[in-house]
Each structure stands twice: as structure tokens, then as C-alpha cells.
């Protein structure tokens, strides 16, 4: 991550600016119209941008130079990026309503879905199934990394709020590195 720190920082800031309207729309609870527009924006724009940002960190984990245009990579598989994002969010949300634990399990099992959509250009359901398969044996690792993101994010916020940016960069780089590590042996077997 340090090799591409400034580039990742710039891409992260651009991504934050693009994602910000969906966050503002979700907090404006007084106007139903803004909530609906925020939801539409989240589904159609924020999801694919987040998937593209995952790809940016994957390129950095592979020691490839990330570029600003990489954050828009999910738009080349747009329909599947939107469908996968909706599918994962729906399943995880339902899981959280079912006594929280299933939601945590689903979130861990679907952690690789963004990478599979953008990196391997998979269809939505295929990516979700493959993420489930790939995380077999790594679910606890994904869970522990997810758990570690809580104190890292809190420390980032305590550091004058500006520290959240490097904290989020570290979190994104960690998940991308895990995906890269898990996917490399299986790709070598296919070749």
C-alpha cells in the first residue's frame, strides 16, 4: 500500500466525493423524496463505485499501479455489479434480522463478491456462489479482519477525523490482499 499511497489517497478522495451524496440522502430523513433518490443513487452509482474501489486496492495488492479509471471498472460489468450489490445487501440485511449471527456469517462469506464481479467479470449469482466457496476455510480470517476494522476506524476518527482516510485505506488493502492470497492458488491450478 505504501508504494501507491498518494495515488490510493487521491482515488479514495474521489471515491468519497462520489459516494457522499448517497450518505447525505440517507441522513435526510425528513424528506421522503431525498431518501428515495439517495436509495436509487446508492443502488445505481455507489455500489458499482465501491466495487471499483475494491478493484483499485486489488491492483495495489498485486503490485500493479492503480489508476483513477480503475475505480470505474465495475461499470464494464454494470448490470452484474448492481445485481450482486443488491443481492449481497439484501441477504446480509435479512441475516441481521435473523438474530444478527447469520448476517455476520453472510457478510463474511460474501466478502469476495466485489472482486469477483470486477476482476473475473462474473455474473452476480455466480460471484456470490464463488465468494461463498472461496471463503471456505477463511471465514474466521475474514471475520477477525472485520472485527479489527472497528478499533482501526475508531482510532482513525479520534485522529482529528482525517485519520479515517488512512484507516479505510488499510482496511480496503487488507481485504484486497486476502482475496489476492486466496485466489492466487486456485488460479494457478486452473492454468
Q: What is the pLDDT of residue 99?
A: 81
Determine the Cα–Cα distance for residues 25 and 29; give it in Å rounded to an integer: 8
Q: What angle do CA 44, 50, 51 make, to 5 degrees?
A: 90
Determine the Cα–Cα distance for residues 61 and 1; give it in Å rounded to an integer: 7
Confidence check: pLDDT of 170 > 50:
yes
Q: What is the pLDDT of residue 22?
A: 72
pTM of the model: 0.86
Of the listed ranges 61-65, 106-110, 163-167, 179-183, the least confidently predicted one is: 163-167
Structure confidence by residue, pLDDT tens digits, 46-105: 999 999 999 999 999 999 999 999 999 999 999 999 999 999 999 999 999 988 899 999
Determine the Cα–Cα distance for residues 68 and 45; give it in Å rounded to an integer: 16
Q: Which residue has the higher pLDDT, 6 or 28?
A: 6
Boundaries of domain holding 34: 2-190
User: Per the structure, how many domains does the chain have?
Assistant: 1
Residue % of the chain over a pLDDT of 70: 90
Amino acid at each position: 500500500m505504501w508504494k501507491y499511497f498518494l495515488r490510493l489517497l487521491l482515488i479514495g478522495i474521489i471515491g468519497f466525493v462520489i459516494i457522499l451524496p448517497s450518505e447525505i440522502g440517507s441522513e435526510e430523513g425528513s424528506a421522503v423524496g431525498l431518501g428515495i433518490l439517495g436509495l436509487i443513487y446508492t443502488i445505481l452509482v455507489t455500489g458499482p463505485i465501491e466495487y471499483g474501489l475494491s478493484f483499485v486496492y486489488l491492483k495495489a495488492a498485486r503490485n500493479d499501479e492503480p489508476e483513477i479509471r480503475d475505480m470505474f471498472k465495475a461499470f464494464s460489468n454494470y448490470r452484474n455489479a448492481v445485481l450482486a450489490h443488491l443481492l449481497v445487501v439484501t441477504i446480509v440485511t435479512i441475516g441481521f434480522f435473523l438474530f444478527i449471527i447469520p448476517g455476520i456469517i453472510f457478510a463474511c462469506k460474501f466478502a469476495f463478491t466485489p472482486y469477483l464481479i470486477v476482476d473475473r467479470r462474473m455474473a452476480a449469482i455466480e460471484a456470490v456462489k464463488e465468494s461463498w466457496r472461496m471463503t471456505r476455510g477463511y471465514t474466521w480470517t475474514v471475520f477477525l479482519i472485520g472485527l479489527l476494522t472497528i478499533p482501526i476506524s475508531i482510532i482513525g476518527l479520534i485522529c482529528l477525523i482525517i485519520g479515517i482516510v488512512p484507516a479505510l485505506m488499510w482496511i480496503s488493502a487488507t481485504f484486497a490482499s486476502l482475496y489476492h492470497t486466496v485466489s492466487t492458488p486456485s488460479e494457478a491450478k486452473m492454468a
